[in-house]
Structure formats: structure tokens, C-alpha cells
Amino acid sequence: MSEYVIQTENLVKYFDGRRVLDGIDLKVPEGCIYGLLGRNGAGKTTIIRILLGLEPATRGRAVVLGASSWQLPVSVLGQIGYVAEGHNLIPNYNVSRVADLYRNLSANWNEQFFRRLMETFKLPVERKVSQLSRGMRAQLNLSLAMATEPKLLILDDPTLGLDTVARRQFLELAVELISRDGRTILFSSHILSDVERLADRIGILRAGKLVVDCELEELKKRARKLRLIFDGQPPRELPITEIMAETRQGREIILTVANWNESKQTILNVFKPASCTEIPMTLEELFIECTSSGADAAVDYEQGEPICSR
């Protein structure tokens, strides 16, 4: 089997003539916690659904645990745990019936672990899924997915709609679980602090393209936000490639550049700014820069090169 648990090549998906995914090349190594970010409609859920075989791709290839995602064999499906966006469990079943279904249809069900999680969350086993709160549904869904002892865990925006306390509980459990057995996790989220806390590698989707795919630290290191102050009028145009954002005010330019390197520094030095200070960026700022319209300039669409890649 390849070193990658998930591998997609030129994945394209159209919905009603609209291109939702545009040539996604995603690689998730074994043991990695991969955070998939993107604005609403960027294609996060579509990628996940294709990986699980719930949705066919229009073009391209997706391989999960060595098998084509559209025809995942039962042996591979048994190694995947999935927590769906909105926690889509069968609404008219009660908790114990859903648990029975998972118990009987899972390849590696861990009853002891499931009971421990149920006790931790104090979930009412006789209550119907439709009568559970969103937080309870999230806890149940995670408990079920984890009790299947998956080699690959896929979480699609698992904390969406949860209140702060429920989110914290969910994340604490996720952190505990992630530290077990070094399993591979792919999760998408809107909440960047969650991603920052859990992920060791991130991918950022923008309009169906993967504009960032690298380690979190690498992204922070390679994307630079600089405040440049010039003695006189600043140059009209800076001949630096991969500028993600640029704002000008008087003698000041604030510049965000992808893939910062020595040659870009040398070009900048030619213009002799009076001061050049680096502004530290949070993941949230990076995300906004990567998904803003200015990020277009930073992506070489012809070459398909992301802002930050391995």
C-alpha cells in the first residue's frame, strides 16, 4: 500500500454544470491529522463524500486505504470511521438501535470503549435520535465512529452548531482519541482555532481548488505579512510573485506574500524600504488571506501550484 492513506489525482466534480472541485490533488500520509479548511461551498464536504464513495467524481481518481473510493471493498469500509456534518443518524431510531446497527455492521467494534464513551456523555439509550440535542447527536456520532476502531477517521465539520461547552467536550475527547494508536484523521472545520489545536497538516480549499497543502508550521513560516514603510512615495508596483494581499496607505504598504524566500527578500531590498517589519499571522488571518479574492494572484492556476505545498 502507498504511504498515503488518502490520495486524489486531478479530482473534478460538477454539480448541474457548476464546477465544485477543480483538479484536487490531495495526499494524506499515514498517522497524519489533516485539517481541511475552506469557506462555505468551497468543496470540503464534496471531497469527503467522494472519498467515502457516497458521491461519484466527475473526473479524476480518489484512492482511500489503497482502494478506489467509488468501489470501496467492505474490508476497507470497515477501517473507516465517519462523523457526518449535521450528524446524520437515522432520526426515527433510538440510540440503542443505532448502536446495535453499528455493532453488527462494523468490522472491529470495541464494546468496552463504546460503553465508556456512553457513560462519559450520559446519553439516553432509549431516546430517539431525532429527540437528541445537536450536541448529544455529535457525541453519539463520535462515540459510534470511534468504537469501530477505524484506521482512518473522517470528521466533516463535527463541531458545527455546537455550543462552546459541547464543542470543548467534543474536542477534548477528540484530542484524547487522536493520541491513541496514531490513527489518520481527516477533518474539515469552519472553526480555525479547532484546526490549529488539532491538525499537523492543513489544506485550504478556495473555489474548488486546493490553494494550500502543507504542514501548519510550514504555512506559517512561508507566508509572510510585512509592513513596509518607505521614505518617499512607495513604488507603484512591487515585482514580487505570489502576492496574496496588498494594502497601501500613504508611505506604507502591507503585503502578504506566499512562499517567502531569499530571492523575494533580495527583490524587496532593491526598493530600499525605510523599515520592513514582519506582522505575525494567526491561522485565521492566513485563512482569510488565502481565501480572499487577492489570493488569486498567488496561485499559479496554469501550473496548478498551491500557495504552499509539500
CA dist 283 and 202 (Å) reads 10
CA angle 59, 60, 62 (to 5 degrees): 125
- C-alpha cell, 181: 494508536
Which residue of 31, 90, 263, 272 would you call a contact of other proteins, by CB under 8 A?
Answer: 90
Q: Does 55 contact other proteins by CB under 8 A?
A: yes
Closest approach of other proteins to the CB of residue 128, in Å: 12
Closest approach of other proteins to the CB of residue 23, in Å: 20
Q: Which is nearer to other proteins, 88 or 277 (CB)?
A: 88
In order of 115, 121, 192, 223, 306, the CA distances from 281 in angstroms are: 42, 36, 13, 9, 19
CA dist 91 and 248 (Å) reads 53
131, 159 contact by CB (below 8 A):
no
Q: Which is nearer to other proteins, 80 or 226 (CB)?
A: 80
Which residue of 40, 104, 112, 293 would you call a contact of other proteins, by CB under 8 A?
Answer: 104
Q: Does 208 contact other proteins by CB under 8 A?
A: no
Q: Kindly indicate which of the ranges 2-10, 101-109, 114-122, 187-195 contains the residues binding other proteins, using the contact rule CB under 8 A.
A: 101-109
Q: Does 53 contact other proteins by CB under 8 A?
A: yes
What character string, x for contact with other proteins (CB under 8 A) and - otherwise, covers 259-288?
------------------------------
Q: Which residues of 165-195 are buried (b: 16+ CB within 10 A; e: fewer)?
A: ebbebbbebbeebbeeeebbbbbbbebbebb
> Which residues of this chain interact with other proteins, rule CB under 8 A?
49, 52-56, 72-75, 77-78, 80, 82, 84, 88-92, 101-102, 104-107, 148
